[in-house]
Amino acid sequence: MSPRKNVPDLRLLAPVLAGMVGTRLGLSLPGGDAYVLAGAAFVVGIGCLCVPGRYASTVLLLPIGATLLVGAILATAAALRAEAVRRGPVAALAAVGAHARIEATITGDPKIVKNVVLLPIRIEELDSESGQGDRALSYRVRAKATVLAFARTPQNTAAWTGLLPSMHIRLSGRLATPRDTDSGDAATVLASQSPQVVGGPDLLQRLTGALRADLRRAVAGLPPDPAGVLPALTLGDTSAMPSQTTADLKTAGLSFLTVVSGENLMFVSAAMLPLAKRIGLRARALAYFGALLALGFTALARPGPPMVRATVTALLASTALATGRRFRGLTATAGAALILLLLDPWLANAYGFILSVAATAGLFISAPAWRDRLIRRGVPNPIATAAAFTAAAELYCEPLLVTFTGRLPLLSVPANVFAVPAAPPATVLGIAAMGAEALWPPAGPVAAWLAQWPTRWICLVAHTAAVVPGAAVPWPDGAVGFLALLSVYALGVKLCRAMQRNGPLGDLNG
């Protein structure tokens, strides 16, 4: 294989960065400012594309123009969506603290955080009252808007925790401005009573809800650590994770394992696609099976930002396979990111989405070359692969992580190298335990008993790393922390190159 074939195609890296920046500016700037900025970028971009071909290619005006156009288009789309939310009737009622009776559709699972139930919903209709006494006015508004419902220490907790996505509910409460202004929610609903279910869930959510409950039943007899962590590793269900384990996973830099993403989809696909080949699926049929597998697993694990990114990438891969085109992972990741930013601009504010894109970029850009160099130095292939891919994902994500954690996990890379190899068997065995519990309940705990061992290993690595002095050190957050860590990376690269020239590192650096 020629060295050229190992060089990743980075042409879409600049458009993705421009799209991310443009989207964030479109969401954060006032509408007029965002449109002026996007218009200027659009004009300059068109100008770059109109320069005669020979000169444009010499000074890179064509890629610069295309990059500016991507940023302008996504900034405009984001500004339009943000303005629609800010000027909508729900946001207006929230600004005055109106009380409302709401009919809504549940869009995600309820979560309990410090005795507060959080429920994401999409408002379909609401009745609101304004004024008092003879001047009181009541009116009905038909408006679709995403909001987050809060219920403080509800007496009937089961009435909330048993809710499933796609259920239609009625809810009363006071509207308030959203607590998370980066979420795209039009308001927060401070619920005054338990919701009334008036319809749903649909067949898909009923099935996935039952399967998630089957996994919880299968692990019920395990010790607290594997009983809480295994559903999180498998389906992102963190409802039963012990608080100390959650903290230790974060300190060790392993908390991403409990957020379902493309990694989980890859593990499941690696187990299921060979079975599909054995029963005779080939070419297009295999591509269609892969697409259905991605969609089904996304519904089961819930479509959080990292999972959505992975699913769109998987669908692009299936399309390439079905049409006989070559699949390029980095290109598909960039395409998926741009498509999703256009459809849901608030993903640009979701750290899970940004970290997912960054980690995947690391896997495609740096990990293969690092693995090959380790192998050339005599490191066995499985160890080289685990170390290189884990280190690449971690090092690409860490400058972003410190921007909001303000902590630098010094043991994150070695902890990941030790723990990540246990994630595939834990995930696959967790899926097996869920399926066994659904088909023949006595077999569920048996499969869960097997799945607990790789899960226990991950917990052991997290607990061990967390108690090491200096496992995580304070670090500046925000842009300062981001730039500071990039400076450390640059100094590290210079040091490695200096050591390479003097011989100790051989050909490891590159």
Tens digits of residue pLDDT in 319-347: 888 887 777 888 888 999 999 999 999 99
Report pLDDT for 17. 92
Mean pLDDT across the stretch 413-432?
Answer: 90
Q: Considering the chain, what percentage of its residues have pLDDT values greater than 90?
A: 34
Minimal CA–CA distance to 130: which of 85, 174, 169? Answer: 174
Note the helical H segments in 87-202: 89-95, 158-161
Query: Is 348 inside a domain boundary?
Result: no
Residues 147 and 276 in one domain: no
Q: Are strands 137-152 and 187-191 parallel, antiparallel or unpaired?
A: parallel
Residues 184 and 119 in one domain: yes
Residues 115 and 146 in one domain: yes
Residue 286 tokens, joined: 């295999």
Mean pLDDT across the stretch 258-266?
Answer: 83
Q: Are strands 168-176 and 187-191 parallel, antiparallel or unpaired?
A: antiparallel
Residues 51 and 106 in one domain: no
Is the CB of residue 49 less than 8 Å from the CB of residue 62? Answer: yes
Report pLDDT for 302. 87
Instruction: Please give the model's pTM, rounded to 2 decimal places.
Output: 0.86
Minimal CA–CA distance to 379: which of 508, 252, 497? Answer: 508
Is the CB of residue 149 less than 8 Å from the CB of residue 173? Answer: yes
Query: Is 216 inside a domain boundary?
Result: yes
CA 46, 50, 53, 59: dihedral to nearest 10 degrees? -50
Mean pLDDT across the stretch 91-111?
Answer: 89
Residues 442 and 380 in one domain: yes
Q: Which residue has the higher pLDDT, 157 or 409?
A: 409
Name the β-bridge partners of 129.
99, 138
Mean pLDDT across the stretch 162-191?
Answer: 89
Task: Give the integer Cα–Cα distance in Å for 232 and 223.
Answer: 15
Residues 219 and 106 in one domain: no
- Check which CATH number belongs to the domain holding 102 and give it: 2.40.50.140
Task: Give the integer Cα–Cα distance in Å for 323 and 427.
Answer: 31
The chain-wide mean pLDDT, for the chain, equals 86
Report pLDDT for 282. 78
* Beta strands in 236-317, from DSSP E residues, in sequence order: none
Minimal CA–CA distance to 147: which of 115, 193, 180? Answer: 180
Q: Which residue has the higher pLDDT, 243 or 508?
A: 243
pLDDT band at 154 (very low <50, low <70, confident <90, very high): low
Question: Given a cut of 50, is residue 172 above it in pLDDT?
Answer: yes
Residues 95 and 109 in one domain: yes
Task: Give the integer Cα–Cα distance in Å for 354 and 26.
Answer: 17
Question: Given a cut of 70, is residue 281 above it in pLDDT?
Answer: yes
Is the CB of residue 101 less than 8 Å from the CB of residue 170? Answer: yes
Q: pLDDT tens across 361-383, in order?
A: 988 888 888 889 889 888 888 88
Mean pLDDT across the stretch 440-452?
Answer: 94
Question: Given a cut of 90, is residue 70 above it in pLDDT?
Answer: yes
Query: Is 351 inside a domain boundary?
Result: no
Residues 424 and 282 in one domain: yes
Residue 422 tokens, joined: 């246990």
Report pLDDT for 351. 85
**Full domain range(s) for residue 30:** 3-86
Name the β-bridge partners of 102.
126, 171
Mean pLDDT across the stretch 138-154?
Answer: 79
SS (H, E, C) 369-420: HHHHHHHHCCCCHHHHHHHHHHHHHHHHHHHHHHHHHCEEECCHHHHHHHHH
Long-range contacts, stretch 213-217, CB < 8 angstroms, 24+ apart:
214/434, 214/437, 214/438, 214/444, 215/430, 215/433, 215/434, 215/437, 216/240, 217/437, 217/441, 217/444
Q: Which of 86, 105, 135 is the last residue of a domain?
A: 86
pLDDT band at 2 (very low <50, low <70, confident <90, very high): very low
pLDDT band at 223 (very low <50, low <70, confident <90, very high): very high
Q: Which of 63, 86, 109 is the last residue of a domain?
A: 86
Number of domains in the chain: 3
Mean pLDDT across the stretch 457-470?
Answer: 92
Task: Give the integer Cα–Cα distance in Å for 150 and 174.
Answer: 10
Q: Which of 201, 224, 258 is the last residue of a domain?
A: 201
Query: Is 134 inside a domain boundary?
Result: yes
Query: Is 353 inside a domain boundary?
Result: no
Mean pLDDT across the stretch 488-497?
Answer: 86
pLDDT band at 153 (very low <50, low <70, confident <90, very high): low
Query: Is 340 inside a domain boundary?
Result: no
Query: Is 180 inside a domain boundary?
Result: yes
Q: Which residue has the higher pLDDT, 180 or 376?
A: 376
Instruction: Residue 137: count other Cβ atoms within 10 Å of its Cβ.
Output: 8
Query: Is 392 inside a domain boundary?
Result: yes
Residues 79 and 95 in one domain: no
Q: Considering the chain, what percentage of its residues have pLDDT values greater than 70?
A: 92
Report pLDDT for 8. 65
Q: 177 in helix, strand or coil? A: coil
Residues 364 and 444 in one domain: yes
Q: Is-cis flag, bond preceding 469, omega within 30?
A: no
Residues 421 and 279 in one domain: yes
Report pLDDT for 3. 45
Residues 154 and 174 in one domain: yes
Mean pLDDT across the stretch 383-408?
Answer: 86
Task: Give the integer Cα–Cα distance in Å for 51 and 161.
Answer: 60
Report pLDDT for 57. 56
Question: Given a cut of 80, is residue 133 above it in pLDDT?
Answer: no
Residue 259 tokens, joined: 């957020």
pLDDT band at 304 (very low <50, low <70, confident <90, very high): confident
